[in-house]
Amino acid sequence: MTRKYDRVIVGGGLAGLMSALVAATEKKKVALLMKGVGSIAIASGAIDLYGKGVGKLDPFKTIKLLPKNHPYSIVGIENIINAIKYFEETTARYGYPYKSICGRNSFIPTPVGWLKPVHLIPSTMDATRLISETNIAIVGVEGLKDFSPTLIHSGMLKQMAYADKQFLTAMMPNPFNTGRDTTSLDLARYVDTIDGMQWLNKSLRAVISGYKVAIIPPILGTEPSRYIPDALMESVGIYLHEMPTLPPSVHGMRLQKLLMSQLNALGVDVIENADVCRADVSGGVCEAIYTAAPDVERAYHAERFIIATGGFLGGGLKAGVNGVSESIFGLTIDAPENIEDWSNPNMLSSGHNFASMGIRVNEVLQAVDSTNKPILSNVHFVGRTIGGYDFASELSGGGVALATAYTAGRL
């Protein structure tokens, strides 16, 4: 079975969804091949841009000084800015806007009370309301995993921005009697219902009298919509700050739903459970990508292919006895010969070689050889598949995904 498109994107994470969205906006016929749900559903739901060093507050000051081989330097400041604008406009058009605070990073509290710098956030993650109040309530739910008001309180008191705040820690009753641990996703699905909204409304009123802001788990429904948050905040009369928690990520699932809805509206063919097994390459041009199925291989032909398969964890890169390679085309990835040199002795430190391994690309995100000559003329790599940066230590994964996807999607 053969299918023909203008663009075929491989990968269901943020970079893949964004690439497909931008290409479809450019009036291209697009297919998105997804093996799984990607990393969005396990991520925080916030978009980090750059959060290391002086970039913690103003990321663009640092981005302008990054090495030439960093993905941000390769795509350029203009594409980064335009990618952010496009993402903001897309989410706003859907009715679930993501914004930055005056073009700078925000510092949102985490489940251990530490502050994480992020750049684009939905309104229920806006920590400026917390900073502006003297009294803050931290409200959990009995039996809820990974959200301890006491632990959050202890951590936040150690942060300068919250050292002089007065905190109330409280617990709401668990609406379930299942005998098992409850997750934020369980509660968010319950709050999607009228009974769930009534439970949360009643429970909040019982514990936060006199407070104007409260930190709660991400339980204000599963839909990327302002309806439930706005209705509850109006009813109880306070601002509710949803703190990101460990996977499954309710914030991430909302963002994924938003982007998938936009793709469907634009007519993108989304092929789920698509396991890309090989590519047909001739004369430096990719003719087709094939997916494996129990009955037959399916061929996807396109003018251009965008590869957003991630790094080692996503399966975009693989390590073997002969070194590191890209998983679809078998492109060789630069790596030290001695595997012991791939990491530092201290695993908690930054600067691990394996963390920045990936495809070497040019300004149009084609893979290039050691002489900077394109290897595949109509194949472009985006997101974590690209080398030259350490997304974990830089806190730049979301921003690189958006910027490279926007660049590739407009080609």
Of 243, 276, 299, the domain-final residue: 243
Name the nearest CA neighbour of 48 among 134, 150, 117, 133: 117
Of 219, 243, 267, the domain-final residue: 243
Same domain for 286 and 336, yes or no, is yes
Residue 332 lies in a domain: yes
Strands annotated E in 258-403? 269-272, 275-282, 285-292, 298-307, 317-320, 323-326, 332-333, 379-381
Domain with residue 7: its CATH number is 3.50.50.60
Q: CA torsion, points 327, 328, 329, 332, in degrees to nearest 10?
A: -10
**What is the distance between the alpha carbons of residues 12 and 280, in angstroms, rounded to a whole number?**
22
Residue 101 lies in a domain: no
Same domain for 314 and 343, yes or no, is yes
Name the nearest CA neighbour of 138 among 175, 180, 168: 168
Same domain for 329 and 402, yes or no, is yes
Per-residue pLDDT of the chain (411 residues; tens, 9 = 90+): 668 999 999 999 999 999 999 999 999 999 999 998 788 988 899 999 999 887 788 999 999 999 999 999 999 999 999 999 999 999 999 999 999 988 899 999 999 999 999 999 999 999 998 999 999 999 999 999 889 999 999 999 999 999 999 999 999 999 997 777 899 999 999 999 999 999 999 999 999 988 999 999 999 999 999 999 999 999 999 999 999 998 889 999 999 999 999 999 999 999 999 999 999 999 999 999 999 977 788 999 999 999 999 999 889 999 988 889 999 999 999 888 777 777 777 766 667 787 889 999 999 999 999 999 999 999 999 999 999 999 989 999 999 999 999 999 999
Q: Are 76 and 123 in contact (CB under 8 A)?
A: no
Same domain for 15 and 117, yes or no, is no
Q: Are 226 and 220 in contact (CB under 8 A)?
A: no
| Residue 313 burial (CB count, 10 A) | 9
**What is the distance between the alpha carbons of residues 399 and 73, in angstroms, rounded to a whole number?**
12
Same domain for 216 and 297, yes or no, is no
Residue 155 lies in a domain: yes
How far does Cα 94 stand from its chain's mean position?
A: 18
Domain span including residue 161:
111-243
**What is the distance between the alpha carbons of residues 384 and 14, in angstroms, rounded to a whole number?**
10
Residue 191 lies in a domain: yes
Predicted pLDDT at 405: 98
Predicted pLDDT at 347: 63
| Residue 407 burial (CB count, 10 A) | 25
**What is the distance between the alpha carbons of residues 254 and 124, in angstroms, rounded to a whole number?**
12
Domain with residue 200: its CATH number is 3.40.50
Same domain for 163 and 226, yes or no, is yes
**What is the distance between the alpha carbons of residues 98 and 346, in angstroms, rounded to a whole number?**
36
* Cis before 59 (ω within 30): no
Predicted pLDDT at 349: 63
For tokens 């791939």, name the residue: 342
Residue 54 lies in a domain: yes
Predicted pLDDT at 50: 96
Q: Which residues pair with 34 in a beta bridge?
A: 272
Predicted pLDDT at 181: 84
**What is the distance between the alpha carbons of residues 71 and 280, in angstroms, rounded to a whole number?**
27
Residue 102 lies in a domain: no
Question: Count of domains in the chain?
Answer: 2
Of 243, 264, 294, the domain-final residue: 243
Q: Are 157 and 166 in contact (CB under 8 A)?
A: no
Residue 327 lies in a domain: yes
Q: Which residues pair with 278 in a beta bridge?
A: 290
The SS3 call for residue 230 is: helix
Predicted pLDDT at 372: 94
Residue 249 lies in a domain: no
Same domain for 162 and 259, yes or no, is no
Two tokens, residue 280: 């047909």
Same domain for 75 and 137, yes or no, is no
Same domain for 159 and 187, yes or no, is yes
Same domain for 305 and 344, yes or no, is yes
Same domain for 120 and 258, yes or no, is no
Same domain for 262 and 369, yes or no, is yes
Two tokens, residue 39: 């990393």
